[in-house]
Structure 1
Amino acid sequence: MGKSKTTKFKRPQFNAVGLPVNAVKEVDDEEEHDEDSCPAAEFLEKLQSPSADMREFACASISRVVQQSQTIPGFLQRDAVRRLGPMLLDSSLGVRETATGALRNLSACGGQEVCEDMVKHDVMTPLTALLRECCAGFESSLVPMKDEKNAVEDIANEAVNLLWNLCESSSQALSMFNKSGLLDAVVLCMERHQHNVELAISAAHCLHTVTEDNPELLCSLNTAVVGALEKVLLSSQPDIAHTLLRTLAAGTLWNMKGSLPAASQAQTLSTVVATLSQCLDLDAGTLIPHLRQEEEVRQRSSPAVTDAEDHAAGELPVEEMDEEEEAPKHKRNGKSTKADNDFSDLLPRGKEELREATALLTAQQTSLEIIVNMCCSDDPSDDEWEEESSSDESDMGPDGLCDGVSNLMSPLCLSAEVHGALINHSIPAKVLQKTEFPRKEALDVCHQNSSWRSLKIKMHRVQSRALTCLHSILSTMDAKSLGGPAALQDAAQHLSTLVFGAAEIPKDEEFLEAVISAMRSLLQMIASQNIPQCMTPQQLMSLSEAATRCDVVSVRVNAVAILGITGSTLAKEKGTAETLQMIGNALLAVATKDADLVVNGEALDALFDVFADGDEAEKAAKNIQLLPALKALQPVFKAKIRKEGRGKYSPQQLCVLDNIKVNLRRFIGYLEKVVKK
């Protein structure tokens, strides 16, 4: 490739499309340059070069540079999408691959707005044509050379990843996918798993995305698609890559459950759950150190290659390396989902062990998310991954009140077939096992190797997903199915250890949100079975204080609910007035001071439960001056609903808050009668 002077620009030294690190030309060190300038104009101009090498160089350069998100506006302002689009059908296979890789990176690093902009600029038209040509070229006699056939599969892999990103972020792209007949092309890519498992996994990711809540597509499914997925599900390759592939196929079949032939639904369900169970059997804490050891052995045999690889993988985009940054949320099909800021699929080739470790954690996270979906109702509003509070319609009691706990005991449409499959494959026990903190040996691998550092985030995310999954299981199964009182007590002790085992309660919001929701549902089940609870008053107060400092509304809501569950249980026992006073004061503080009306309402609802009846409750209520406190709070709460409610909260939340307002008036009347006794 010829030398040409370009503006030097600091960028990560790894390449999403696997080209050598030195493929992009840099100027000589002594050349004067402006590091803050954007090279977009020069690279885009080179796309028009008559030289295929120069066009490929320009596409590869763009692919690298856009991994720094601050450069993306410069490319978009210069119409990069419209100028890169024709490159997807360039006469050179190298240009096709690098151009598709550039658009893929642009979509991955730019987020939802960039994806929607790409669709508006008609990127789907050349992408559709490219995928069809790739599929035709898989077995075409016009491509006799083995290397060229691999090149076609590499292009297809970039194209499928781009398609996946677009359909994940843009409802318009998803609609175009439905109408374009691309489903068969993506399925064909998945069927290449025996020859190219990387391409198959990309296709399976795409299928898992496009089949979620997409009735238009599901109506047009044919038996060939179902058969291809079932064939993947029954594949026997033992490697981790195929484990991920089977997991994604299982998730896709679950998405399609309503379109499966009735005669085979039960068998397919059993196979899906068996696949998830086998994935959860794998021990990441053992496998990750083992994979790192394998990498070290390989590196010792090829040190020159290793240095380049480590340098390439060690300088990931800022988004990947920042463990403290909260992932942004984007919408697809009207639902909010949390983006993982996951750039692991952009790892350079040659990092096979790191790819395997990443695939393992992705497979286990996906398995847990599928189980959550199995435990949730089919109501489109019931999205487990949305930020939620107990004050939506799903938590309303029979009288329309915001019942902070009773809903957790009512099954969420878990069919007998799903229930039986989950129990038969020991899913509850395996999920509980995954709620453990990551092993020290695996974390040490992440701390000692910069290229493996991102796995730490993924390991903690698997734990958080397992806790959310445990919450869903507890919400849909009875105590007997989960092993009875002894098993529930063991689980409660385990969750208490997760929260209170260290000197301080963990501050990570994703973990707190998941563990407190699981703890809430478990404590409610324990209370309903009259099983002694394992949390001390001091632990309760420390949990309440930690939750109060958390910005996530659902964490504060669930912490308040836990106080209510524990308090209502203690109110039935003798000698508990002092503890009830502590709980009452904590709930009053939240009801009065929290900035969110939903949390205020949950705290009031918990107060109603704790102080509804019993001598100990009456004694505690008198000691903390509950009646005058609620009388003072009543007009403030009513005014806050009137002032803030309409613009800030949903109609369902407002309905619940109105019911709590009515119940507050009634509860004050009840306390007045108690005082007069």
Structure 2
Amino acid sequence: MGKIRKSKPNRTKRSMVVNYSNEEEELGTDSKENAIQTIMDQLQAAEVEEKYCGLQTFALMIENPENIPHLINCGLVKVAAPLLLDQASSVRNAAAGTLRNMSTVTMDICDAMMEQDIMTSVTSYFHEHAESWVPDTNSKTVDEDIDTFIQIINLLLNLCESSDLAVKYLGQSRILDILPRYLDLGTFNGDVVTAVLQCLFVVVEDNPAAMTKIRSNAEIQLQALLGLNGEDPTIVLLKTLSAGVIINTCGGNITTLPTDVINRIMSILANTLSVDHRLICSQLSSTVPLRNESGKVEAPKGKAAQQLNNQIQVVSQILTAQQSAIEIIANICSFEDTDDMQSSDSSENDDADDELLENCIETNLAEDKLVTEVMEAFTSLEIFDKVWVRTQLPASNVMLILKEYEVSQLVYKRLLSLQTRALLCTNNLISTLPIENLGGINGVYKIWLDTGKLAFKQDVESVNLSESATAVMRAALDKIRDNAKSGDCNLFTDLALSDIEIMLTGIRECEVPEIRSNLIRMVGILASLLVNSLNEVTSNVICTITEFILEQAHKENEVWVLAEAIDTLVDLFTEDETDELAAKVKLTDKLSILAPILRNKARQQKRLPKEYKVLVSTASSNLPRFIRYKKNRLSCKC
């Protein structure tokens, strides 16, 4: 239950071209504490060379995640951050790259960086260096200065993505008044404009003050970028990001935009997703150097190296643009669901138990969730098919080649990120589009099967992939159930317990609550699909699933997952045809035992995201009324 929100853009470390061999030897002999103290002394030295050397060693230590707690505890961020304002361009650049890399590790690290007052230096950089800066092509440090600006923009993005306090500081500064000037392609290069758009794409979302400021300060620039001509990857990326920022300045509500702008945006998103990502990555892998017989990779040199780097940059831009387009589409769908969440709250004053059945049924049609212009664009531009293709990776040999060569590893990581975002977007599209646009029940069933191969494959590399894949499987089963109420779906009539054992095992062993929740809901939906074809076998499957969910509910520590399990059982046994099965498993007695457990956990775990609070509130409200309702029905049959 609840909408799947957009996952934030993938964080990528900045590659610093530095020779670390001397530092590595030094760290091998000196203690970690002595090394950190040396860095501290160097960062506070007066000489440019000392500060730069200290930042190099700092950057080296960040490469090992085990060092980061020590670096944080010693207060290195507090000492390094002011170097963003250093008079020497090389020091500013090294500080920006190092701190940006540190901010990519985890969100907790960003919180720790905030505690060491990094935003004061970041804000001061924009106020002192960026308010009127224009790249000077005659300056020897122009490339360095441009790179410094981009790294600090990315640092700001990561901090705001992780910390509400950073967003607050951003709003109190003049940064959002300064950034629109960097959207001028006539003055700044594509890399600068892209970095600023990526930052705005994140910081404007769900931020009313930022929405207002960017809408008033950057409307002309954003419209100009939206209207760029050409199919160059840089242009495609700029147009896609501009579309995302424009939608976010409207609070995610695309319907507030003029029809011609909506049509242009939808066309841009479709065009961005028209590039065959698997083909371009396969072509790239054919130019990437392979390991020789001794296991080493000989990097190309000269012109060949430049050509390979250019090709990698092009592919990276396309993948980034496609990920952004997918996130935008996911948000267009999820915005339309916000009212549905609120309407799911049932009135506390409603004592009519018979109305519980109505509260458990989705009354809105899928077609009603998107305005006509958007629905027509999704259909005519084949948006679902374009997103679904992105859930499929290039061939395994292509992925291995890209992963093994250090320079192309970024492409490999972006492919994995693109796949995960595409699955999350697929989840939203399945929930939003009419089933006819998804290939009918059989088409959705095939999506369920294909996604299952991703969710349960043995070599799955990412928890995020498992979570997003199980979310798609859950949405697909929801769609099948909602469109098979007349009993015309026989896809699961032969379902046996052995067929779902992998899901039951997953629930028992999974440590990720989001995945457990998806799997619990899935087995519950599978059981509900058997209600219309009850026999000895299907009844046994339903009872086994019910007893399994009840058992897991008693073991569950997360209140919202417990609520999901209870809500799943309420949905399953809402139909009158289940009365006999409910009596067989003593459902009402067992749910009565769970009711106080749910109340106690709800009191203990109050700090939950909004959608989880709604889920817990709904389950807490519905459960007592459902128990009364079912008890009354069962007593009448005795």
State the distance in 1 between where 2:67 and 2:443 align: 52
Map of 1:238-253 to 2, 5 A cutoff? 238-253=231-246
Look up the match of 1:99: 95
Equivalent position to 1:646, from 597, 600, 603: 603
State the distance in 2 between where 1:454 and 1:271 align: 31
Look up the match of 2:632: 669
State the distance in 2 between where 1:233 and 1:451 align: 31
Distance 1:193-1:36 versus aligned 2 partners, 3 A rule: farther
SS, match of residue 572 in structure 1? helix
Distance 1:78-1:269 versus aligned 2 partners, 3 A rule: same
2:115 is equivalent to residue 117 of structure 1: yes
2:416 is equivalent to residue 466 of structure 1: no
The alpha-carbon deviation at position 499 of structure 1 amounts to 1.6
2:474 is equivalent to residue 527 of structure 1: no
State the distance in 1 between where 2:395 and 2:631 align: 51
Q: Deviations over 1:356-384 (max 9, x none)?
A: 444433332322221111012368799xx
The alpha-carbon deviation at position 412 of structure 1 amounts to 7.5
Contact 2:329 2:425 in 1 (8 A): yes
- Farther off after superposition, 202-211 or 187-196: 187-196
Distance 1:492-1:92 versus aligned 2 partners, 3 A rule: same
Look up the match of 1:326: none
The alpha-carbon deviation at position 662 of structure 1 amounts to 2.4
Contact 1:361 1:459 in 2 (8 A): yes
Question: Which letter does structure 1 place at the counterpart of 2:224?
Answer: K
Provide structure 1 residue ranges, at least 5 long, that are not aligned to the other structure: 1-13, 309-347, 383-391
Contact 1:108 1:165 in 2 (8 A): yes
Contact 2:123 2:173 in 1 (8 A): no
The alpha-carbon deviation at position 556 of structure 1 amounts to 4.1
Equivalent position to 1:636, from 593, 598, 602: 593
Distance 1:285-1:569 versus aligned 2 partners, 3 A rule: same
The alpha-carbon deviation at position 33 of structure 1 amounts to 1.6
Map of 1:176-575 to 2, 5 A cutoff? 176-192=169-185, 196-222=189-215, 225-257=218-250, 265-296=258-289, 306=300, 351-377=309-335, 399=355, 406=362, 409=365, 413-436=369-392, 438-446=394-402, 448-449=404-405, 452-453=408-409, 455-456=411-412, 458-480=414-436, 482=437, 486-499=439-452, 509-528=466-485, 531-535=488-492, 536-538=494-496, 541-542=500-501, 544-549=503-508, 550-573=510-533
Higher relative contact order (CA 8 A, sep 6+): 2
2:80 is equivalent to residue 84 of structure 1: yes
State the distance in 1 between where 2:110 and 2:40 align: 23
Look up the match of 2:559: none
Equivalent position to 1:20, from 10, 18, 21: 18
The alpha-carbon deviation at position 265 of structure 1 amounts to 2.5
Distance 1:174-1:209 versus aligned 2 partners, 3 A rule: same
SS, match of residue 586 in structure 2? helix
State the distance in 1 between where 2:330 and 2:276 align: 20
Look up the match of 1:58: 54
Contact 2:423 2:469 in 1 (8 A): no
Contact 1:56 1:94 in 2 (8 A): yes
Distance 1:632-1:360 versus aligned 2 partners, 3 A rule: same
- Farther off after superposition, 452-461 or 36-45: 452-461
The alpha-carbon deviation at position 444 of structure 1 amounts to 3.3
State the distance in 2 between where 1:428 and 1:195 align: 35
SS, match of residue 120 in structure 2? coil
- Farther off after superposition, 549-558 or 255-264: 255-264
Map of 1:1-40 to 2, 5 A cutoff? 16=14, 18-21=16-19, 25-26=22-23, 33-34=29-30, 36-37=32-33, 39-40=35-36
Look up the match of 2:548: 589
Contact 1:372 1:472 in 2 (8 A): yes
Contact 1:207 1:252 in 2 (8 A): yes
State the distance in 1 between where 2:593 and 2:288 align: 63
Distance 1:634-1:144 versus aligned 2 partners, 3 A rule: closer
State the distance in 1 between where 2:598 and 2:267 align: 49
Task: Normalising by structure 2, report the TM-score.
Answer: 0.80
Distance 1:500-1:380 versus aligned 2 partners, 3 A rule: closer
Contact 2:83 2:91 in 1 (8 A): yes
SS, match of residue 287 in structure 2? helix
The alpha-carbon deviation at position 472 of structure 1 amounts to 1.6
State the distance in 1 between where 2:221 and 2:253 align: 13
The alpha-carbon deviation at position 79 of structure 1 amounts to 3.9
Contact 2:84 2:96 in 1 (8 A): yes
Identical positions, percent: 19
Q: Deviations over 1:563-619 (max 9, x none)?
A: 45444444334x64421321222122212333232243134214313x522xxx567
Distance 1:160-1:82 versus aligned 2 partners, 3 A rule: same
The alpha-carbon deviation at position 668 of structure 1 amounts to 2.9
SS, match of residue 219 in structure 1? helix
Q: Deviations over 1:114-137 (max 9, x none)?
A: 23224367223432235426x523
Question: Which letter does structure 2 place at the counterpart of 1:58?
Answer: G
Look up the match of 2:622: 659
Look up the match of 2:104: 108
SS, match of residue 644 in structure 1? helix
Look up the match of 1:136: 133
The alpha-carbon deviation at position 88 of structure 1 amounts to 2.4
Contact 2:592 2:627 in 1 (8 A): no
State the distance in 1 between where 2:428 and 2:444 align: 14
Question: Which letter does structure 1 place at the counterpart of 2:450?
Answer: T
Contact 1:280 1:364 in 2 (8 A): yes
Look up the match of 1:44: 40
Contact 2:392 2:419 in 1 (8 A): yes
State the distance in 2 between where 1:642 and 1:32 align: 55
Provide structure 2 residue ranges, at least 5 long, that are not aligned to the other structure: 1-11, 348-354, 557-561
Contact 2:81 2:121 in 1 (8 A): yes
Contact 1:279 1:364 in 2 (8 A): yes
The alpha-carbon deviation at position 59 of structure 1 amounts to 2.5
Distance 1:502-1:401 versus aligned 2 partners, 3 A rule: closer
State the distance in 2 between where 1:15 and 1:74 align: 20
Question: Which letter does structure 1 place at the counterpart of 2:61?
Answer: V
The alpha-carbon deviation at position 537 of structure 1 amounts to 0.4
2:32 is equivalent to residue 68 of structure 1: no
Question: Which letter does structure 2 place at the counterpart of 1:435?
Answer: T
Distance 1:264-1:169 versus aligned 2 partners, 3 A rule: closer
Question: Which letter does structure 2 place at the counterpart of 1:43?
Answer: I
Distance 1:450-1:108 versus aligned 2 partners, 3 A rule: closer
Task: Normalising by structure 1, report the TM-score.
Answer: 0.76
SS, match of residue 163 in structure 1? helix
Aligned residues: 593
